Amino acid sequence: MKNIRNSSLQDLEALFKEWGESKFRAKQVYEWIWQKHVGDFSQMTNLSKALRDKLSEQFTIPKVRVHHSQFSSDGTIKNRLQLHDGHFVESVLIPTEKRMTVCVSSQVGCSLACKFCATGFLPRKRNMDFDEIVDEVTLANEQSLQHYGKPVTNIVFMGMGEPLLNYKNVLKAIDKITSPDCLGMSPRRITVSTAGISKMIRQLGDDGVRFKLALSLHAANDTKRDKIMPINETSNLDELVDALNYFYQKTKNEITFEYILFKNFNDSAKDADELVKLYRRVPVDLVNIIEYNTIDKADFTKPDDDVTESFMRYLESKRVNARLRRSRGKDIDAACGQLANVDHEVSQ
């Protein structure tokens, strides 16, 4: 049976015409799917039982469900989400005074094998479908309203997987999330983070996207970046600089650098100076300096506080717009780089 969420409103209208049903019935079904987020045709109570039965004979609504949730002492909520085929991904709801941010995944596992990231040690099983990504957001939105009385205000594609290697589904999900017939969120409140796929960054520019872009940088020279991010061997820093400038020229959208500090690796005065030089080659709005969160399979640790402070002071002295991003949800392995639920089939 077909996933009905792959059908446009026009597809449904054409089908209902074949069935001898009124055109407005298609709109009712579409609203149940995308505005009310139902997962069963029996819940579409303003349709006749005969029509509901006919739909259920030909279509499915393969909704993502929350397998379980973990609650951090700082208010962060991590969700283990089960997909229709038994795979798992994780998403994180991060509450602050001004924002309710959901960090979403775009792939089951990841193929980039970054040496500091827990997800990088998992094989990539498959791309997530666009409707599964939408479900991540709508589930987080329901959770945010339930626990905090506020809707989700921001979305960051910084969970499991590389968004630009699932390009079509990520853009289709964002198109749906920002559509008035779904959540109607502003694309300016959405940030897509990439490890650096220069060809696809250029494609974002050609497609005229309206969301923000973040580059997971983590080292400002190719020798060091090659060691921790194998993708740099095929998209080096010069290529990324060119691609980011092209993206900005085409869209004028905000660009952020993400830079995790690793003790005795990328936290020296020389590293800070290289970061400043790279910053000046791209119209970067902000540099997020991120605390490293340890994982079992990697040998990296975070620098001492005085080293971090010295690094930040140097950036500020060079007029770099930098912010130290404190980790949230560390006590439930929900912080940056820690998402890595082992994927397995659910036992029956």
Active-site residue (options: 13, 21, 90, 162): 90
In three-state form (DSSP H/G/I as H, E/B as E, the rest C), the secondary structure along the chain is: CEEHHHCCHHHHHHHHHHCCCCHHHHHHHHHHHHCCCCCCHHHCCCCCHHHHHHHHHHEECCCCEEEEEEECCCCCEEEEEECCCCCEEEEEEEECCCCEEEECCCEECCCCCCCCCCHHHCCCCEECCHHHHHHHHHHHHHHHHHHHCCCCCEEEECCCCCHHHHHHHHHHHHHHHCCCCCCCCCHHHEEEEECCCHHHHHHHHHCCCCCEEEEECCCCCHHHHHHHCHHHHCCCHHHHHHHHHHHHHHHCCCEEEEEECCCCCCCCHHHHHHHHHHHCCCCCCEEEEECCCCCCCCCCCCCCHHHHHHHHHHHHHCCCCEEEECCCCHHHCCCCCCCCCCCCCCCC
Active-site residue (options: 103, 110, 182, 336): 336
Q: Is 97 a catalytic residue?
A: no
Alpha-carbon distances of 58 from 3, 27, 46, 61, 96, rounded to whole Å:
9, 18, 19, 11, 43
Q: How far apart are the first and last CA of the chain?
A: 23
Alpha-carbon distances of 36 from 7, 183, 254, 316, rounded to whole Å:
17, 10, 32, 47
Burial of 36 (0-12, 13-18, 19+ CB in 10 A): exposed
Q: Is 90 a catalytic residue?
A: yes
Token pair listed for 203: 């494609």
Residues identified as active-site: 90, 336
